[in-house]
Amino acid sequence: MAISSYKVQDIPLKNTPLLMLKDFFELTKARLAISVVFSSLAGYLIAANSYDFSIIILLVVGGYCMVGASNSFNQIIEKDLDALMDRTRNRPIPTGRISVSVAFIISVLLTLTGIVILYKINPKTALFGAISIFIYTCLYTPLKTVTPLSVFVGAFPGAIPFMLGWVAATNNFGIEAGALFTIQFFWQFPHFWALGWMLDEDYKKAGISMLPTKKKDKATALQTVLYTIWMIMISIFPVSGLTGDLNLSVFSAILIGIIGLVMLYFSVNLYTKMTTESAKNLFTASVVCLTLVQIVYVIDKIYIWT
């Protein structure tokens, strides 16, 4: 999502440092990148028994670089499609505020910087960061105009950040990191199908369909309900004690269950009403609910398990 609302005609002939910074933030989708970094930080806080602030800084900066690189590569590949859609036509590349060559240099520099920084934490963190960029850029982005299954492919890099924090703290990918990955993996579907529902007409201008049936129909809405249920189930599963060192108290599991039911309410609301407004509500609820779930996990770890 763009973080800037200024329009092409509002830009002076001579760029200022502030406008250049705004274009950089828009190219790297700063708000999205910050939310992804938040997920990584939550995963770290859940995993670590003591906090190393140098690692936290490396995770935040390296994580932003990796997400920013993915978003920048995405906009290079989709520059012609972005020009066709209302919500993206004022992005830096379609408007010419940033050239493709400059955007490519930025993308490469962010990739290399991000990998080096994450490697300083541990090699596994850098590896998963690199895998995330590759899948997002080389698989998910090209598939968007080919098949709605692109959402399934995109869910893999989208689910990496939460578990990346665990890997950064422990240098280990086991059942704990896998559980965190699965929570965010299932969350992706109602989140992006709600977005796809909201922007279906705009996406169609570029030949993109994010919806599983390519239609705003009952089958699509039903799938948002089902994936929300699966997300709730895996979110509270660590209370069972079967996820290794990833623990969850009964109280926190109940709280997360309630948060999940709120998101489920909005998913069912989309199924019953089939409106753009209900899709917007689900999209907003999905962002808030995931954030709250991650916060509950962090608080549970700090105040109950340490």
Has residue 8 got a pLDDT over 70?
no
pLDDT tens string 141-171: 999 999 999 999 999 999 999 999 999 999 9
* pLDDT at site 9: 40
Amino acid type, 289: C
102 Cβ neighbours under 8 A, 6+ residues apart? none
For 177-203, give the DSSP string.
HHHHHHHHHHHHHHHHHHHHHHTHHHH
What is the chain's Cα-based Rg?
A: 19
Has residue 187 got a pLDDT over 80?
yes
User: How many whole angstroms separate alpha carbon 5 and alpha carbon 259?
Assistant: 32
pLDDT tens string 58-111: 999 999 999 999 999 999 999 999 999 999 999 999 999 999 999 999 999 999
User: How many whole angstroms separate alpha carbon 26 and alpha carbon 23?
Assistant: 5
User: How many whole angstroms separate alpha carbon 51 and alpha carbon 146?
Assistant: 44
Work out the mean pLDDT of the chain and round it to a whole number. Answer: 92
User: How many whole angstroms separate alpha carbon 271 and alpha carbon 296?
Assistant: 28
